[in-house]
Structures are given as structure tokens and as C-alpha cells.
Structure 1
Amino acid sequence: MNLNLKRISHRLGYALLAASALLGSHRVALAQEASAPAAAPTKAFKDERALGLLKAMSDTLAGARTLGFKIRGIVPTPSPTGQYVSLFASSRVVMQRPDKLFVAARGDLFPSDIVYDGKTVTAIGVDRKFYAQREAAGGAIEALMTSEQPGSDATRPFLDILVPDPYVFLTKDLLSAFWVGQSIVGGVKTDHLAFTAEGLDWEVWIGAKDKLPRLMVVSYRSGDRQPTFTVEFSDWKLDAPVASQTFNASIPKGAAKIEFKQTDQVK
């Protein structure tokens, strides 16, 4: 399976509430893929129109020195009975190239923040007064993607579209791509694109004028259960001024420090 696209599904699912999952309030599991019958093979078809629109989105994102946006998502989460229940996730993201990132995660889980100032990654449980902190490898945001240090996955849900070249990242080992049509998402006219990798389908709705992602849906096509993760993007701000204090970690007075957890343990 395409590891990059598999990461997308992980991140779009549980890591939309990155700090919450990281700090251990809930564990969002993905379906086990090996035990179900294999899905019908995907027809290899790569629509140049779809690839061109995805490339335009990538170029728009890569060309901005600062990016700000909001995310709302539905995260399928296993309950004690084994049934997946849907949790509402929301986040606000601010990024400044090359080495600063702020994520405020809210929604059904407890409020939490992730702050990366170029040197240190800090995860804060805003209401529960505890935090985790570690030094970050490298001096750029994308360095977090390949870091093997504990907690590096905390910022990965957003790095999929914030890496220097999202197009290369998203199309590696792609099996199929096609343009579905146009539709309205959040009042914005969009181009609807569909892609597949082995065992995985994903779709993206891209603004027809601004070339920004507006909606993504990622679905497994194998496993006992086949969760679908849905993420909506809004309130985009490109190259807007960002206050320097945005990337200062505000640790609550008296907060207890805990260790980062490997997100591959949150399964």
C-alpha cells in the first residue's frame, strides 16, 4: 500500500485531533485490513485533468509563505462494543515557512494545542493542565515528517498539504485519478477529484478559482470494518501577517509535564 497515502488516512482520521490523541484521552483505531476479502481491483486510469487540478492546488499551497485555515471533520472511533461511533473534530492551523506551526484542536475531545517554534514541539492539554514537550529534529516543518522521535506524528495531519511539494507526496504510487465534476462546498464552487491507491480510495474537492482544498474524504476498501474519514477545510488565509507570539507555547500555570507518546501506539 502507498505509505504516503496510508499516512494521509491515518492523519485525516485520528490526527485531526492530534494533541488530543497524543495526550491520550481517546484512541482512534483504524480497521484491520488483512482479514477481509480483497476488494475488486481498481482500473488503472489517470485523468490528466484531475492530475493538473491537483498540481494547481499543490502549487498554490507551496507558493504561500504563511498559511492559515480551519478544519472540521468526522472521525470514526471504535466504541467498547466494537461499533465505530462518529466524533466531531475541529482544528485551527497556522503555519509559517520554514519552521513554525500552531494547531488548536477542539471538538468532542478535550481542548489541546500543538506548537512548533522551529526547535521545540509542545502539546498542551488546555483545560486539564498538563503538557508534553520535546526537541524537534531539523529546522523545517517537513523535518517533522521523517522524524522518528516520540510524538512526531502530532503535526502530521497538516503536513500532508504543507510539505514543499504536496503533489509529489500525494501522487506517489497512485493507481488511478479522475475528475468527477463540479459541486458547491461551503458556498465555494469546486472541482471534485477521485484517486485510488492499493486498499484506499480518497477524494478531494478543490476551489475552482482559488485552487485550495475544501473537502477530503478517505475510505478504506479492505478490512473487517472500513472507516471513512471526512475533513472540511475553511477560512483559508494565504500570506497573511502572523503575530510572532502565535508560535509561543502558552503552558498553563501549574501544568504537569508528561512524556510524549508514540502515535503508532495510539491504535
Structure 2
Amino acid sequence: MPRSPVPLWRGLAGGALALLAACADPAPSAAPVTTPPAATLEEDVSAALRRMATTLTSAPAFTLTFNTLREAPAGAAQSILLSGAGAVVAARPDRLYAAVGSDMGSYSLWYDGRAFTALNTQQNVYAVTPLSGGIETALKAVEARLGVTLPILPLLADDPYAMLTPAGTTGRFIGRSIIRDVVVDHFALNGPSGHWEIWLEAAPSALPLRVSFVEPGPERLRTILDFTAWNLRPRLPAGTFAFTPPRDAARADFLPRGEAQTRSNTP
């Protein structure tokens, strides 16, 4: 707001004040109030994500390895970092194998278009459940049943671009940097499912080299996936997606979502 004129002589009569006011320059008008432009999904972000999606969905099969850091609650106002490493083998439309070892345990997963199998390699216990559909359908079913979020899911989806950019998503370019001697472009996305950051090769392939996901909610816990190797033309041995129970492995049932915690608290 413009500053109001201050009288220089408070003892002057009202007529003199009026004369001074009439001779004074008019007070400047207030600057117009402008509304900042609404956040959008910037065109260069959209274009890079589309290139990435085309690269991933055009590969009939691929393998990848990754390291992961995941925040977990550890008491009042504190979180800790849990680390891990894993590998994924995928063959579209409905074949998947994954192995993960972390501070939270070690397990392997198989999906062959007919059944989903999970093996706890430390406890030597496995579970099998009938399941059909593509890789995305299977992983969504796993998320729903186990009550977990899989940050890698968008990269394995039928349409990675659509899953990363649902209605209401905004995104911007952060900058260019280097990951393991590879030049990458860093993007940030905000959407209904949470906050994403993704580092894509600054090349036509736009392969993702790193992903950060912050879950919605008050705790805002972060998971980082650091992709150490991609192979878009793998030679997969026969039986890659077939599960053979290890010796002396025990079979268990998959527990419905929420039931695992209830049973674990039952004597």
C-alpha cells in the first residue's frame, strides 16, 4: 500500500493544508495484485516421462538391479533408514521375478500369469495364491492384499506415464546432474498418490536411474530406489518364472490385509 502523506506543519490552519494538498502530486496508485500462475505439469517433464514410458513398454523383457533406502518410523518424532538391494526380471505381459534382501528381511517373488508366489528366504516359508492378469494387475493385487506401497510399480505398469501423472499431478524440471558418470535430468512430481522425484538419463531412452517417493500423510516417509543396471535385451533361461520350493520349505497361507497384525498379536 502507498504511504499516506504526512503533514509537515501540524499547526497550520485547515485552509493551508487544503492548499498544500491541492498542489501536491497525486499519490501513486496501488500496484495491481497479480496471482501467480497455477502449477502445471511442465511440457518438458511430460515429454521426458513419455520417452521413458515408451522405452520401458517397448521392451518385451528386461532386467534391473537396484539399491534401496526406506524411512521407517522409530518412535516419537524420529525415523530410521532401512537399506536393501534387489533384482527384477520382467517379461510382458504377465511374467515377473523379483528378489530383495533388506533390513526388513529377504524374500523372492514369482508370477507366471496364473499364480503369485512369495518366499521368505530367511524363514524358508512360502505362500502361493491364484492370480491372473498382467504384471500391473498382479502387483496392485499384492499391494491391496499386503497393505504395502511398491514404489517400483509405476515403472512396471502397462502405461508408466499414466500411472505417474494421474489427474491433478504437477511437475517441474529441477536441474541436470550426474549419477555414476551418466548425465541425468532431475524432475519433481506432486500428485494424489504422493510426491515423486525421478532422475532420467539425458538421452532419448530416458531410462530412470533413481526414484524417490514420499508417501502422503503426516509422517511423509521417503523411499529411494537407486537403479544400478538395466538390460532391455536379456537372455532369460528357461524356468526363470517357475517356482520350485526349496528343500524343507514350509508352506503357509497369504493373510488378508490387516489380518497379519491381528494374528501376530494373538497368543
Q: Match of 1:229? A: 223
Assess if the C-alpha contact under 8 Å between 1:101 and 1:141 holds in 2: yes
The answer to whether the Cα contact below 8 Å between 2:127 and 2:251 also exists between their aligned partners in 1 is: yes
Q: Could you tell me how far 1:114 is from its partner in structure 2?
A: 0.4
Aligned residues: 225
Alignment partner, residue 212 of structure 1: 207
Q: Name the Cα RMSD after superposition.
A: 2.8
Question: CA shift at 1:111, angstroms?
Answer: 2.1
Cα drift, residue 221 of structure 1: 6.6
Indicate conservation of the 8 Å contact 1:199/1:220, yes or no: yes
2:104 corresponding residue in structure 1: 109
Among 119, 134, 138, the residue aligned to 2:129? 134
- In the alignment, which of 83, 90, 114 is matched to residue 85 of structure 2? 90
Q: Indicate if the aligned counterparts of 1:69 and 1:236 stay in contact, CA closer than 8 A.
A: yes
TM-superposed deviation, 1:48: 0.2
Larger displacement relative to structure 2 (149-158 or 191-200) = 149-158
The DSSP-based 3-state class of the residue aligned with 2:246 is coil
Unaligned runs of 5+ in 2: 1-36, 262-267
Where does residue 122 of structure 1 map in the other structure? 117
Query: Mind listing any 5+ residue stretches in structure 1 that lack a counterpart?
Result: 1-41
Task: Report the 3-state secondary structure (helix = DSSP H, G, I; strand = E; otherwise coil) of the residue aligned with 1:245.
Answer: coil
Q: Which of residues 49, 52, 56 in structure 2 aligns to 1:54?
A: 49
1:78 corresponds to which of 73, 77, 87:
73
Aligned residues of 2:188 and 2:197 also touching (Cα < 8 A)? yes
For 1:233 and 1:95, the matched residues in 2 are separated by: 15
Relative to the length of structure 1, the TM-score reads 0.75
Q: In structure 2, what residue type is equivalent to 1:84?
A: S
Relative to structure 1, the CA distance from residue 117 to residue 222 in structure 2 (aligned partners, 3 Å threshold; closer, same or farther) is closer
2:206 counterpart SS class: coil
Aligned pairs for 1:1-267 (under 5 A) are: 43-79=38-74, 83-138=78-133, 140-145=134-139, 147=141, 151=145, 156-198=150-192, 200-209=194-203, 210-220=205-215, 222-223=217-218, 225-262=219-256
Structure showing greater Rg:
2
TM-score, length of structure 2 as denominator length: 0.75
Cα–Cα, structure 1 residues 215 and 48, in superposed 2: closer, same or farther, change >3 Å?
same
Q: Whole-Å Cα distance in 1 between the matches of residues 248 and 144 of structure 2?
A: 24
**Which moves more between the two structures, 81-90 or 247-256?**
81-90
Query: Shift of the alpha carbon at 1:158?
Result: 3.5
Task: Say if 2:66 and 2:227, in contact at 8 Å, map to a contact too.
Answer: yes
Whole-Å Cα distance in 1 between the matches of residues 131 and 64 of structure 2?
Answer: 23
Between 1 and 2, higher relative CO (CA 8 Å, sep ≥ 6) is seen in 1
Please say if residues 199 and 222 of structure 1, whose CA atoms lie closer than 8 Å, have aligned partners that are also in contact: no
In structure 2, distance between residues paired with 1:50 and 1:220: 21
**Identity over aligned residues, as a percent?**
26
Determine helix, strand or coil for the equivalent of 2:239.
Answer: helix
Letter in 1 for 2:157: V
